[in-house]
Amino acid sequence: MSYDIESTLKILADKGVNMIDQRQVYVSPDVDLDRIYPGSVLYPGARITGSRTLIGTGAKIGTEGPATVNDSVIGAEASIASGYVTEATLLPRAKAGGNCHFRGGTLLEEEANTAHAVGLKQTIMMYGVTMGSLINFCDALLSGGLSRKVHTEIGSGFIHFNFTPWGESGDKATASLIGTVTEGVFLDKPPIFLGGMSGIVGPKEIGFGAMTIAGQVLRKSVPDDVMYSGTSPSFETPFSYQDTVPSEKNINLKRKSNVEYLAQLYALKAWYTQIRMKRSRLCGDEELSLVYTGALETIEECVAERVKRYKSFATRWGADLLNDACLRIDPPAFDGSVDWKPELAYDKWIWSLSDHEKEQLHSWIVSCAEQIRSTL
């Protein structure tokens, strides 16, 4: 039986989905139409596919050109200018610029945004994080900043190098932390600025308030509140992909970095399950709860990717394996006393927390991360 796309588009139009030109919109038969919300806008060239896909109230798809959304969750008032988004999650008011290329494990929180030609995979941009143009980030988590105006920013032409080519097939046990979850969720840490036309050789950690000068490749971690510029010496030395073996220091660094990255992902999972989901339920926002569920799916995908990549690395080079069973245990419940204020938007609620409320939440989320560090 042939697929009647005209009937599908009529159902969407009748429920209040705005399609500028229905002749140039494609919605595949596997899409759950109940997950395409009234008030969303599908511009000419929009292609919507995948049973996981959700397009939230007021979300805009294809404002600047053709856009494909596959198995992705796009929250209310979020927008995709043009490009390809698959197996990703964008929270409300997140923005993807023109010619974006977002793949599995990509999560943009509220007000996070990218300019044109940004490629992301296995990358989490927390609240307000901003990327310029012509950027490629795989295997990274970014946080920091106080608000949409005072935010962590990545300059144009930046690359996170996530692949080491040594051995038979190389490895990607290289995830980098730019900021952290346990501190970044409170929107009270100074922003991080990574200058453009640069790169990071993962895995590295960049502290809050750090600034790196444009036009360099970062080969070391940068602590909090430091302006950093470094260049590498020129050298030539015999080299073989097959015969090169990572040093013990390098192996230990990659294990330590993966443990910390997984601890931060676990803390983020706890924050969504215990804090964000509770507030969405209290305000009766079913759509937002579904978007948060999508974010949790993305976080779990990032956890699985890190475990897989590190296991491959450790097996190849004889490093200690991880006790990844601990990552499947539900995060501990938050039993503190805070005013949830469901009438407030998420960011305004964060800014309204008293010092005592913030202290309770901070102690709890730090304990979540520490639980994983001590058992991995």
pLDDT digits (tens, 9 = 90+) for 336-347: 999 999 999 999
- Considering the domain architecture, whether residues 205 and 288 belong to the same structural domain is answered as no
> What gap in Å lies between CA 140 and CA 203, rounded to an integer?
9
- Considering the domain architecture, whether residues 276 and 195 belong to the same structural domain is answered as no
Q: What is the pLDDT of residue 86?
A: 98
Helix axes of 286-317 and 248-271: crossing angle, nearest 10 degrees: 160
pLDDT digits (tens, 9 = 90+) for 321-332: 999 999 999 989
Q: What is the pLDDT of residue 64?
A: 98
- Considering the domain architecture, whether residues 145 and 253 belong to the same structural domain is answered as no
- Considering the domain architecture, whether residues 253 and 212 belong to the same structural domain is answered as no
- Considering the domain architecture, whether residues 141 and 216 belong to the same structural domain is answered as yes
> What gap in Å lies between CA 16 and CA 309, rounded to an integer?
44
Q: Residue 78: is its pLDDT beyond 80?
A: yes
Q: Is residue 328 part of a domain?
A: yes
- Considering the domain architecture, whether residues 177 and 266 belong to the same structural domain is answered as no
Task: Give the up-direction half-sphere exposure of residue 34: CA atoms within 13 A in the CB hemisphere.
Answer: 3
- Considering the domain architecture, whether residues 15 and 75 belong to the same structural domain is answered as yes
> What gap in Å lies between CA 260 and CA 105, rounded to an integer?
18
Write out the two tokens for 89. 């999650």
- Considering the domain architecture, whether residues 217 and 266 belong to the same structural domain is answered as no
**Residue 61: is it exposed, middle or buried by C-beta count within 10 angstroms (0-12/13-18/19+)?**
buried
Q: Is residue 78 part of a domain?
A: yes
The pLDDT of 191-205, averaged and rounded, is 97
The pLDDT of 134-151, averaged and rounded, is 96
Structural domain for 326, as ranges: 249-375
The pLDDT of 258-264, averaged and rounded, is 97
Q: Residue 230: is its pLDDT beyond 90?
A: no
Of 239 and 131, the one with more pLDDT? 131
Q: Is residue 240 part of a domain?
A: no
Considering 194, 228, 262, which residue would you say is the last residue of a domain?
A: 228
Q: Is residue 237 part of a domain?
A: no
Q: Which amino acid is at 224?
A: D
Predicted confidence band at 1 (pLDDT cuts at 50, 70, 90)?
Answer: low
- Considering the domain architecture, whether residues 310 and 200 belong to the same structural domain is answered as no
Rounded to the nearest angstrom, the gap between the alpha carbon of residue 268 and the centroid of all alpha carbons in its chain is 11
Q: Which amino acid is at 317?
A: W
Considering 228, 257, 276, which residue would you say is the last residue of a domain?
A: 228
Q: What is the pLDDT of residue 22?
A: 95
SS3 19: strand
Q: Residue 91: is its pLDDT beyond 80?
A: yes
pLDDT digits (tens, 9 = 90+) for 284-320: 999 999 999 999 999 999 999 999 999 999 999 999 9
- Considering the domain architecture, whether residues 209 and 255 belong to the same structural domain is answered as no
Q: Is residue 82 part of a domain?
A: yes
- Considering the domain architecture, whether residues 94 and 189 belong to the same structural domain is answered as yes
pLDDT digits (tens, 9 = 90+) for 39-66: 999 999 999 999 999 999 999 999 999 9
Helix (H) or strand (E) holding 360: helix 355-375
pLDDT digits (tens, 9 = 90+) for 9-28: 999 999 999 999 999 999 99
Considering 196, 228, 260, which residue would you say is the last residue of a domain?
A: 228
Phi, psi for residue 113 in degrees, rounded to 5: -155, 155
pLDDT digits (tens, 9 = 90+) for 269-279: 999 999 999 99
Write out the two tokens for 221. 């971690």
Question: Token match 């974010």: residue?
Answer: 295
- Considering the domain architecture, whether residues 158 and 263 belong to the same structural domain is answered as no
CB 75 within 8 A of CB 64: no
Q: Is residue 236 part of a domain?
A: no
Predicted confidence band at 90 (pLDDT cuts at 50, 70, 90)?
Answer: very high
- What single-letter DSSP state applies at residue 113? E
> What gap in Å lies between CA 89 and CA 117, rounded to an integer?
18
Predicted confidence band at 166 (pLDDT cuts at 50, 70, 90)?
Answer: confident
**CATH number for the domain including 16?**
2.160.10.10
Of 62, 60, 65, 98, the residue nearest 78 (C-alpha): 60
Q: Is residue 355 part of a domain?
A: yes
| Domain count along the chain | 2
Q: Is residue 3 part of a domain?
A: no
The pLDDT of 105-109, averaged and rounded, is 98
